[in-house]
């Protein structure tokens, strides 16, 4: 285990098993629709790569890059779009792929932003759900793991741009970000 990690919350094997299950579920739901999976960079890149490969149906992939103002460990909900979608989503079935939903403010912004373009449907697939912290009423259609209110890294999630390449989800040692 990496020296900055306090403990592993979700192992590599648990991630593989869950992502493969979610991919099959999405394939069953979307096989007639050629959906567009929309990931929020950078956090969802690794989840997206594994999820789409576990979902053996025709689908398109697109990414948005958003930056939310706030401290390094808490988002403020004020979101700035750094990269928008490359394709038109009108009348398409959109699945937002999120690494983690915390307060829900970023996701709520994304849903509003994409809804304005009149897709046929919008659903949300989140790997991690920190439900205790939710301050907005957003619906998660597919959830990998509910997790407690702790700051986690790995499998795409960073702290100061590090730890994204850890193959598991771990709790960062609090002294590394508390000060
Ligand atoms: P929300 O807008 O739902 O409060 O925050 C969502 C964003 O905050 C996530 O996309 C992620 O960038 C960041 N975030 C929230 N909780 C965590 C966490 O435990 N670890 C990491 N690395 N980022 C988090």
Residue 129, domain member (yes or no): yes
102 in catalytic set: yes
Residue 88, domain member (yes or no): yes
151 lines ligand 1 (CB under 6 A): yes
Query: What is the rounded (10 degree) CA torsion for 43, 46, 52, 53?
Result: 180
Residue 61, domain member (yes or no): yes
Grade residue 66 by pLDDT with cuts at 50, 70 and 90. confident
Q: What is the DSSP letter of 173?
A: P
Among protein residues, the one whose CA lies closest to atom 20 of ligand 1: 152
pLDDT digit string (tens) for 44-58? 999 999 999 999 999
Residue 8, domain member (yes or no): no
Q: Which atom of ligand 1 is nearest to the CA of 98?
A: 10
Among protein residues, the one whose CA lies closest to atom 17 of ligand 1: 151
Contact 99, 43 (CB under 8 A): yes
Residue 125, domain member (yes or no): yes
Catalytic residue among 62, 86, 99, 102: 102
Residue 174, domain member (yes or no): no
**pTM to 2 decimal places:** 0.94
Q: Which residues constitute the domain of residue 136?
A: 13-151
Grade residue 164 by pLDDT with cuts at 50, 70 and 90. very high
Query: How many structural domains does the chain have?
Result: 1
Residue 163, domain member (yes or no): no
Residue 160, domain member (yes or no): no
CATH number for the domain including 75?
3.40.50.2020
């Amino acid at each position: 285990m990496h020296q900055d990690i306090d403990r592993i919350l979700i192992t590599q094997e648990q991630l593989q098993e869950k992502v493969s299950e979610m991919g099959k579920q999405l394939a069953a739901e979307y096989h007639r629709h050629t959906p567009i999976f929309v990931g929020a960079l950078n956090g969802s890149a690794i989840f997206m790569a594994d999820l789409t490969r576990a979902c053996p149906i025709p689908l398109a992939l697109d990414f948005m890059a958003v930056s939310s103002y706030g401290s390094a460990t808490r988002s403020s909900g004020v979101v700035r779009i750094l990269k928008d979608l490359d394709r038109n989503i009108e009348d398409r079935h959109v699945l937002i792929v999120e690494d983690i939903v915390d307060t829900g403010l970023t996701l709520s912004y994304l849903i509003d932003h994409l809804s304005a373009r009149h897709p046929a449907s919008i659903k949300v697939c989140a790997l991690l759900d920190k439900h205790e912290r939710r301050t907005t009423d957003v619906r998660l259609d597919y959830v990998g793991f509910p997790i407690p209110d702790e700051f986690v890294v790995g499998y795409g999630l960073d702290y100061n741009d590090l730890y994204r390449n850890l193959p598991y989800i771990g709790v960062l040692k609090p002294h590394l970000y508390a000060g």
